[in-house]
Amino acid sequence: MIVVMRFGSGDEEIAKVVERIEVAGLKAHLSQGAERVIIGVLGQTFPELRDMLETLPGVDEVIPVSKPYKLCSREFHPQDTIVQVGDIAIGGDEIVVMAGPCAVENEQQLLETARAVKAAGATILRGGAFKPSTSPYHFRGLGKQGLELLAQIKKETGLPIITEVMSLRDVDMVASYADIIQIGTRNMQNFSLLEEVGKAGKPVLLKRGISATVQEWLLAAEYILSQGNQQLMLCERGIRTFETYTRNTMDISAIPIIEKVSHLPIIADPSHGTGKWYLVPPLALAAIAAGADGLIIEVHPNPDSALKDGPQSLTFNNFDQLMSQLKPVAAAVGRRLATPPLKVKS
C-alpha cells in the first residue's frame, strides 16, 4: 500500500500517517519525490487500512499494490483449474458447448431442443426453471416443475444440465437436480447466495455482473471459492455501455484477461452478450478465437413463440450451422470441440 501525500503537506501530517501505520503493526517507508512525499506501507496490510489512511489530513491518495483477490488468482494457483462434469472436462483442451432454451416451457419444447443441440454437437443442456425478470409481470419460469423436466430430459438424452438458482431458499433443491449451478448477472453480488452456492457441492458457473469490473467479478468468485468449492467457472455475458444497438456490449477482452490473471475456466454467452440472434454466431466464433473454454447459447424450436428471449435464440438450423463453423475456428487456435455423450447414462 502506498500513501501519496498532497503537494505541500506538512511534517505533522506526515507524522500522523506514519503513526497510524505503526499502530497497525506495520512499517512506514518515506520517499521525498520531486513534488510530494510518498509513504510505502511495509508488512501484511488489511483492507480497512486504505480507507483509514485516505481519511487523514494531507493525504492525496492511497494506492493498494496487492491484488485484493487470492484464491482465484493465477499468482497463487498457477495451474489451470479443470471443472469436471461427468466425463466432460471444462478448462482443458476441449471446448464445451452448452445449449438449450432460455426458459423451460414444456416437455416437448425441451426434449426437441435437447435432441437437436445434442445432434449438432452440444454436450451440456441449458434451460431455466427460475427466470429473473426485470418486470414482475413477465414470465418467471416453471420453478420446480421445470427442474423435473430437466431431470427427465437428462435421463433421455444423457446431457448434463446447467440451470440458474436465484434464491437462497432454492439452492438445495436446484443443487439436487443440476450438474452445474448458474449464478446470473443480477446476483453476482448477492453475497449470501454466493456463499450458499459455495457450500452446495456442485460445479458453479458465475456470470459477470452487468456493470461489474473484472476485479469485482473475481472478488465475487472469491466468495464461492472461500467456501471450499473449487469447481467454479466464470462466464462473460456482456456489460452495460451507452450503445443501444445491442442489448449489452460483449467484452471479448475479458476472456484473455481472465486467462491471464486467474486459473478458472472462462465461458462466453453471446446470446445475452448481444441480444440479437444474428450476432450470436460471429461473437461465438470471436470468443473461441480469443481463447474461451466454452460457450453457452440459447436455442429454441420456434424463437418467435418463445416465452423468453426469442430475439436472441437460434433456431435448430442456425445452431447446427454455427457448430460447423466452430470446428475449424477451434482447430485454428489449437483446440477441438468436446463431443456429446454417445449414449444415455442412467
The yes or no reply on residue 135 touching a copy of itself (CB under 8 A) is yes
Give the count of alpha carbons within 13 A of 144, CB side only: 4
**CB-neighbour burial class of residue 224 (10 A; exposed 0-12, middle 13-18, buried 19+):** buried
User: C-alpha grid cell for residue 232?
Assistant: 467454479
The yes or no reply on residue 94 touching a copy of itself (CB under 8 A) is no
Stretch that binds a copy of itself, among 51-59, 79-87, 115-123, 153-161 (CB under 8 A): 51-59
> Which lies closer to a copy of itself via its Cβ, residue 82 or residue 286?
286
Residues 6+ apart with CB under 8 A from 290: 252, 253, 255, 256
Number of other residues whose CB lies within 10 A of the CB of residue 63:
11
The yes or no reply on residue 18 touching a copy of itself (CB under 8 A) is no
> Which lies closer to a copy of itself via its Cβ, residue 286 or residue 341?
286
Listing DSSP states for 214-243 in one string gives HHHHHHHHHHHHTTT---EEEEE--B--S-
The yes or no reply on residue 32 touching a copy of itself (CB under 8 A) is yes
Residue 143 CB, nearest approach to a copy of itself (Å): 12
Listing DSSP states for 200-216 in one string gives S-S-EEEEPPTT--HHH
Instruction: Kindly write out the interface string for residues 62-91 of this chain, putting x where it contacts a copy of itself by CB under 8 A and - elsewhere.
Output: -x-xx-xx-----x----------------
Stretch that binds a copy of itself, among 87-95, 144-152, 276-284, 338-346 (CB under 8 A): 276-284
The yes or no reply on residue 287 touching a copy of itself (CB under 8 A) is yes
> Which lies closer to a copy of itself via its Cβ, residue 103 or residue 159?
103
Instruction: Kindly write out the interface string for residues 148-177 of this chain, putting x where it contacts a copy of itself by CB under 8 A and - elsewhere.
Output: ------------------xxxx--------
Residue with cell 436465484: 166
In angstroms, what is the C-alpha Rg of the chain?
23
The yes or no reply on residue 316 touching a copy of itself (CB under 8 A) is no
Residue type, 141: G
Residue 87 CB, nearest approach to a copy of itself (Å): 27
SS3 319: helix
The yes or no reply on residue 337 touching a copy of itself (CB under 8 A) is no
Query: Which residues ranging from 255 to 274 are in contact with a copy of itself (CB under 8 A)?
Result: 255-257, 260, 273-274
Which one of 10, 19, 29, 93 is in contact with a copy of itself (CB under 8 A)? 29
Q: What is the DSSP letter of 101?
A: -
Residue 118 CB, nearest approach to a copy of itself (Å): 24
Which one of 54, 87, 107, 156 is in contact with a copy of itself (CB under 8 A)? 54
Closest C-alpha among 95, 101, 154 to residue 315: 101
The yes or no reply on residue 340 touching a copy of itself (CB under 8 A) is no
The yes or no reply on residue 324 touching a copy of itself (CB under 8 A) is no
The yes or no reply on residue 230 touching a copy of itself (CB under 8 A) is no
The yes or no reply on residue 241 touching a copy of itself (CB under 8 A) is yes
Relative orientation angle of helices 144-157 and 107-120, to the nearest 10 degrees: 40
Which one of 92, 143, 311, 341 is in contact with a copy of itself (CB under 8 A)? 311
Terminal alpha carbon distance of the chain: 55
Query: Which residues ranging from 174 to 213 are in contact with a copy of itself (CB under 8 A)?
Result: 186-187, 189-192, 195, 210-211, 213
CA 338/CA 97 separation, integer angstroms: 8
Residue 339 CB, nearest approach to a copy of itself (Å): 19
Which one of 15, 84, 199, 240 is in contact with a copy of itself (CB under 8 A)? 240
129-168 burial: b if 16+ Cβ within 10 Å, else e: bbbeeeeeeeebbbeeebbebbeebbeebbbbbbbbbbee
Which one of 149, 206, 267, 285 is in contact with a copy of itself (CB under 8 A)? 285
